Chains A and B, each alone.
Chain A
Amino acid sequence: MQSRSRNPRPDPGSLPMRLTSALLGLLVILVSSCELRKERMFRRSEFLMDTIVTITVVSGSKGKADEAIGKAFGELERLEGLLDFFSPASEISEINREASAAPVRVSQETFDLLERALEVSEKTDGAFDITVGAVVSLYDFQGKKSPPAGLIRERLPLVDYRNVILDRETMTVKLAREGMLIDPGGITKGYAADRAVEVLRSEGIRAALVAVAGDIRGYGSKPDGSPWRIGIRDPRGKGREDVIATVELKDMAISTSGDYERFFIQDGKRIHHLIDPRTGYPARGVISATVLAPLAVYTDSLATALFISGVERGLEIAETLGFDALIIDDEGGYHMTESLRGRVEFTKGAV
C-alpha cells in the first residue's frame, strides 16, 4: 500500500508552478524596464537672441523637464528684452541713444554684465571691446563690402572700452564720446547660457546642457553617467556638423569663435566679422579659438579675445586666467594650453 505524505508537495512540473516561475521572470523584466525609463534626456530648440538655442535636460519626469525647460526659455526671452542691441526698448539701446549726453540709469543686472565685459577688456588689453560696434557696423557682410580706410580711421577713436564709465553708486552708464555704440553681443549669449543653467538648477534638474548657438554650458552627467560630449567645429569644414575635435564637458562652459561665421572674400582676402578693436580690421593669424571655463559669460567673450590676440598672446591670456584654450592658426596648426592636453580628441590631423 502506498503511503501519502502529510503535507503533500505541489507537483513541481504542474502548470501553476510553471506559471509562477514565468511570472517571476516577467516581473524581473518589468522592473529592469522601469529602471531603463528612470532618467531620460529631454531636448527643445527655440529661436531666440537671433540664433537657435537648444536646451537638453536629464530628468525622470517629462512634466518636470518640460516645465524647467519652459522656465529657462522664459529667462532667455527676458534677457533678450533687456540686452538686445537691435531692440529699441532694451537698456542697451537706451544707453546707445542717450548715454553720450548724460548718464543713463540701468538695472543691476545690466550694470553687472557691463562691468564684467569691461573686466574682460582690461584683462585682454582691449582685444575684447563692447564699443567695437562703431567700426563693425561699417562692414556690409551681406553686400560683401568693406568700408574705405578713411572711414575706419575716422570711427576708430570711438572704439575704446575705457570710455564706458560705470558708476556703481548711482547705477549709471556714461559714454565719454558722442557716436559711441556699445554692443554686448559678444558676451550676452554666454551670460544667457549661465542664467538658463541657474534656472534649471533651481527647478531641481540634476543635469543639463544649454547651447546658445556655439556658447554652451553643461552640468551634471547624462543618464548613463557619462559626461556631455561637445564637438568643436572644423573652421574649414563643409558645414556646422563637420567637427575637428571633441571634448568632454562636465560642470563647464565652452565657446568657439571662428572666421567662418560671417565673412566674404575680397581681393583674395577673407573679410570676417572678428574685427580687432585696436585696428578696425579683421584680425589675422587665427581661424578659430575655443575657450573652456566654468562660466559661459567668460568663454563667450574670451573666445573672441583670444582669436583677436593671436596664438601666442591668446594662450598667455588663457594660462594667466587659468582657463583652457585651443587655438587654430591660419596654417591649420593646433595650439593649446597645457591644461587641455590629453583632454581633446582630434578627429582630424593638423592641416
Chain B
Amino acid sequence: MSLPRELFEETTLYDRILFVALLLLSVSSFFLVGEIIPSGGTVTIEVDGRTAYRLSLHDDRVVEVRGPIGVTRVEISNSRVRVTESPGPRKLCIRQGWTERGVIICLPNRVVIRVGGEGWGGLDAISG
C-alpha cells in the first residue's frame, strides 16, 4: 500500500478538514499578509545615508537633526510630516509642505525623510 493512500485511509474526516483549513490559511497568507500587517506608519529620517530616527507617523513631535551644514527641523503632526527649518539656501524641502506619504529631501544638508514606509506611493522612483 502506498504511503499517501495509507495516510488518507488512516485519517478521519476531521483530520482532513483540519489539513485543508491549514492549507487554505497558508495559501491565503500569500495575499493577506500585506493587508493584515499595517504598513506606512513610520517616518525614517536619514542624515548622510545613515538612519538617525525611525518614528511613528502617528505620534506628534518635532525632531531636529544635524547635517553637514546645519540643523534641519522636522515636524510630525496629524499623521503628516513637514520640514520647518533647513539651512539649504533654496528651502525647497520647506516649500514642499506637509507630506502624508513619500520622500522629502533636503539636499544641501543631506537629510532624507521617508514618510509612510519605502517608496513613493506605489512608485519605485520619480523622474524629474
Residues in A lying within 8 Å of B, measured CB to CB: 9-10, 12-13, 17-18, 21-22, 24-26, 28-29, 32-33, 36, 41, 43-47, 51-52, 54, 56, 142, 209, 211, 214-216, 218, 222, 228-233, 235, 238-241, 243, 246, 254-256, 258, 260, 288, 290
Measured CB to CB, the closest approach of chain B to A40, in angstroms, equals 11
Note all chain A residues with C-beta closer than 8 A to B74: none
A290 with B128, Cβ < 8 A, contacts A44-B49, A240-B96 known: yes
B30 and A32 contacting across the interface, CB-CB below 8 Å = yes
B79 within 8 A of A: no
Number of A-B residue pairs at CB separation under 8 A: 133
Q: How far is the CB of B19 from the nearest CB of chain A, in Å?
A: 5
Task: Decide if A238 touches B12 in the complex (CB within 8 Å).
Answer: no
B interface residues, tally (CB under 8 Å): 43
Q: Which residues of B contact A (CB under 8 A)?
A: 9-12, 14-15, 18-19, 21-23, 25-27, 29-30, 33, 46, 48-49, 89-90, 92, 95-97, 99, 102-103, 105, 107, 110, 112, 118, 120-128
**Closest CB-CB distance, B72 to chain A, in whole Å?**
14
Least CB distance, B81 to chain A, in whole angstroms: 12
Contacts of A290 in B (CB 8 A): 127-128
The secondary-structure label for the interface of chain B is mixed
Interface contact B123-A25, CB-CB below 8 Å: no
The 8 Å CB contact of A228, one of B11, B27, B118, B125, is B125
A229: chain B residues at CB < 8 Å are 122-124
Residues of B within 8 A of A22 (CB): 18, 22
- In the complex where A45-B46, A229-B123 touch, is A239 in contact with B118 (Cβ < 8 A)? no
The answer to whether A214 and B127 touch (CB under 8 A), given A22-B18, A36-B33, is yes
Chain A residues near B15: list those with CB within 8 A: 12, 17-18, 21
Interchain CB contact under 8 A, A17 and B11: yes
Contacts of B118 in A (CB 8 A): 41, 43
